[in-house]
Amino acid sequence: MAKPLPVVRTVPALRRAVEPYSAAGQRLALVPTMGALHRGHLALVAQAKRRARRVAVSIFVNPTQFAPNEDFSSYPRDFRSDLRILADAKVDLVWAPSAAVMYPEGFATHIEPAGAAKAELEDKFRPHFFGGVATVVTKLLMQVAPDFALFGQKDYQQLRMVTQLAKDLDLPVTIVGVPTVREKDGLALSSRNAYLTAAERAVAPLLYRVLKSSAKRIRQGEPIAAVLDVARVEIDVSGFTLDYLEARHALTLAPVAARKEGPIRLLAAAKLGRTRLIDNVAV
């Protein structure tokens, strides 16, 4: 019979679980998630396995990255299904702390990232978000002490922020970005896609189509501002409420006006009914 998948819920139990890996000289990769796992998360696990002999997946819906008006309480959770998926994926360890373990009474330290985290993209619409993510990711990296940590390009600004954070704090970990996994029609996989009605689900792939066609037009030499103006209207008239669609430097996320200003990433966020979708593409 296959060995049961170890699920640890306290920091001492976690330390006991990972200690034998380093003692045996085995590298460890961490995939941080909020659960409700899908093929996007599994792509991170697959990449983790390519880098390290041991793979840990954390499941923690982090309350501090949600604003009071956001979907913390309704965020999709299915721990039993997640465990089945991770057992099938043959990961070595699940780190599933409670909020009380992560933020015990008296917890008082908060990491406030700048740089890419203040690019006026997600941070403009979710001002709580990156402070909460930076604090929890720092804790996860200190707790698990992995050699590698994998993050999706789907959350591109987050990936840039975490890369900077690991560098700035000299964390002994290599941050690895993994390309976005999509449905056949282009929609980026997301736990929040479960919120979409059938009618919204039919419209949702338009966001990626517009990003892709805009990237192509910019590559072909059309002026960025003109391309984005048309794209914003297209997204708006299709029933989305656009939060932003921007062209940014792919590493710093600083605004760019012309193609020659560097590798460019197009990033967008838009609401479809009660669901907020984000996506991005390289130019």
* Catalytic (active-site) positions: 41
Instruction: Quote the crossing angle between the two packed helices 129-144 and 156-168, to the nearest 10°.
Output: 50
Compute the least distance from the CB of residue 159 to ligand AMP, in Å: 7
Helices (H), the chain: 11-23, 39-51, 79-88, 99-102, 122-125, 129-144, 156-168, 198-203, 206-219, 224-237
Q: Which residues bind ligand AMP (CB under 6 A)?
A: 33-34, 40-41, 43-44, 151-152, 154-155, 178, 180-181, 188-191
Secondary structure tally for the chain: helices H, strands E = 10, 9
Nearest Cα neighbor of 31 from 103, 82, 107, 100 is: 82
- Residue 63's Cβ-side half-sphere holds a number of Cα atoms within 13 Å equal to 10
Based on CB atoms, which residue is closest to ligand AMP, 190 or 214?
A: 190
Compute the least distance from the CB of residue 182 to ligand AMP, in Å: 7
| Cβ–Cβ < 8 Å for 56, 144 | yes
Based on CB atoms, which residue is closest to ligand AMP, 62 or 232?
A: 62
| Length of the chain counted residue by residue | 283
Compute the least distance from the CB of residue 229 to ligand AMP, in Å: 28
| Cβ–Cβ < 8 Å for 95, 46 | no
Based on CB atoms, which residue is closest to ligand AMP, 217 or 279?
A: 279
Based on CB atoms, which residue is closest to ligand AMP, 93 or 188?
A: 188
